[in-house]
Chain A
């Protein structure tokens, strides 16, 4: 029944702490010997997922299989996995040798063999001759090496790494990345690596699992994830990108920034609203305006070492980020070209806010725990369950929380060339999506108002969840 190639199978894992949903129906399969990275912003549930895999905490729902066997309810000390913790978690009362030998001693491995093993793993992490050192006298990088040595000394089937490099400085992080990759190749065991650092994920992994808000956003190879992000969250989180509203006119033809472009995507249908992603290095910037697809004016130009990073304003008023080896001075008129293969078209997750509501009377409807004034169309009466639709651009955000009908904070934002697309998390835990040209920062507290004319009431679509 189960596939022998998969060393780890997580099936429909859900986990909540109190009211807060941390993991929502997460399923992952990991092949033997893979280097898998779980990537996401802090609070996305990646660490919780790793902890469930290690056995620290129980799943609310779902099943954990390791090597084909059910481990859902097995305590941590009986699982064939070992963890490298973010803050090392070495035993301060033991020296380096005793730390590494800890697991082997518990297994009653003969002393001579423990000796051999400790020396072997210390060599592997380039810490030979450190056996007798007090762990607290070691630097952060050295402690992390010992922590890795301690975990692999137990010869786990799977090594779990919880942001192991997060506490190290940049230079050391880069060196350790290379060493980890080398270690993975030598050991041949499966690595599950948790990080919020997208560059680290792209460098190290065979497979990246992008998570946000307890859900898997995309699973793929680093090149897949970078070149073909499946939604605007992934596009925004991995690397720099221009994310724009677009319209799929027909197969292989998409419109955005006010122009039509040839692309290679098919099967979206005709005149369908989509999100378009163009990486800044994929926009060609030329002096010869004749050969260009559209025009723009350079607004700023910053030297970034290898390339220049420029912001331009297109002829239709959109702002784009461009990376190029050549510098163009501000106010210069330039031509831009985007090749069909460099345009990534994505389905929109939603095109307007939809809330579950209930009609109060002909002038009021209740949704998001509040009663709003509006015009209820004919044919609805008190108590009818309805869908309430509000356009992204019709939600008003105000500085003073108290002045808003609803209160919330800016949870996530994406710049879309000529406006910001914000995700607002209300104090009651609901999401409202807002398009605005005002500048807000993540975490800003906002009041939310919706004008009566902008509230549209339609019959409840039962298929909608």
Chain B
């Protein structure tokens, strides 16, 4: 009996968590302009989305393009920066190491809106004209700590003699980094990259405050503006559904990787 209630509880939680997204998913298969009206099953919204047969297609497509490009650049740069930082932190000793690890964690806990506003003020103060570059810089800033956090455990798990073994066999420090350290940290770097990529995709607040006034839109700012203009464009419903499915697949991939790595480590 106790088990039954426990089961009910977890299912109830899952339903509450996923109801909104399922709701959007269901209504992406109907043509109604107003969300909540079921006017029969149709995949017209999906085909509209892909054929560009909708109002404001151009700006939506450029927003998607921007989003992906910014996420790609931010994730790549922060993967590099974060990995180097993690190696540095790993080789520190004592109090300094603790302090830096702590400082690394703060930006992740910091509300996005504060990160956004403070970056906005910083750019204004430094007289940097806001636009694409500032958005990318901002995204790199808040993505890097996540990469550090995913690479550090890989370093701790690593036999400390392995890097030394490479040097011992005649590798210069750079060769040892390239041929031994990076291949061994790869799983952590990939997790970090994926994490940074999704964090960047997901971001609204920071982008909103750092994009300036040149009319740069990412998907999140586009949807926000669109919704304020009087109702959500219906074609956004299939888009959101597709994005959710995409993220779901990505998460499943990450989890399977982690399970596999853990199994491998156990052996």
Contacts and interface: CB of A to CB of B under 8 A. Distances in A.
A303 interface: no
Given A89-B161, A91-B180, A93-B184, A106 B167 contact: no
A269 to B, nearest CB: 50
Contacts of B264: 136
A89 B169 contact: no
Contacts of B267: 136
Nearest to A82: B168
B169 A102 contact: yes
B58 interface: no
Interface string B170-182: 1111011001100
Given A77-B172, A106-B175, A136-B264, A89 B162 contact: yes
B168 A92 contact: no
Q: Is the interface of B mostly helix, strand, loop or mixed?
A: helix
Interface in B185-223: 186
Contact of A75 (B161, B167, B179): B167
A366 interface: no
Contact of B164 (A81, A89, A150): A89
Contacts of A54: 164, 168
A246 interface: no
Contacts, number: 68
A154 B166 CA distance: 12
Contact of B169 (A55, A75, A136, A150): A150
B167 A76 contact: yes
Nearest to B158: A92
Interface residues of B, number: 22
A178 B35 CA distance: 81
Nearest to A154: B169
A89 B165 contact: yes
Given A92-B184, A136-B267, A85 B161 contact: yes
B160 to A, nearest CB: 9
A102 B162 CA distance: 13
B230 to A, nearest CB: 56
A247 B175 CA distance: 62
Interface string A71-93: 00001110001110111111111
A18 to B, nearest CB: 10
B159 interface: yes
A76 B175 CA distance: 13
Contacts of A77: 167-173, 176
A88 B168 CA distance: 13
Nearest to A93: B183
B54 to A, nearest CB: 48
A87 B173 CA distance: 21
Interface in B131-171: 159, 161-162, 164-171
B164 A106 contact: no
B127 to A, nearest CB: 45
Contacts of A87: 159, 161
Interface string A128-158: 0000000010000000000000110010000
A76 B164 contact: yes
A136 B162 CA distance: 14
Contact of A55 (B167, B175, B184): B167
Contacts of A150: 169
B162 A83 contact: no
9 contacts: A54-B168, A55-B168, A77-B173, A83-B168, A87-B161, A89-B161, A102-B169, A136-B267, A150-B169
Interface of B: 159, 161-162, 164-173, 175-176, 179-180, 183-184, 186, 264, 267
3 tightest A-B CB contacts, nearest first = A103-B169, A89-B161, A89-B165
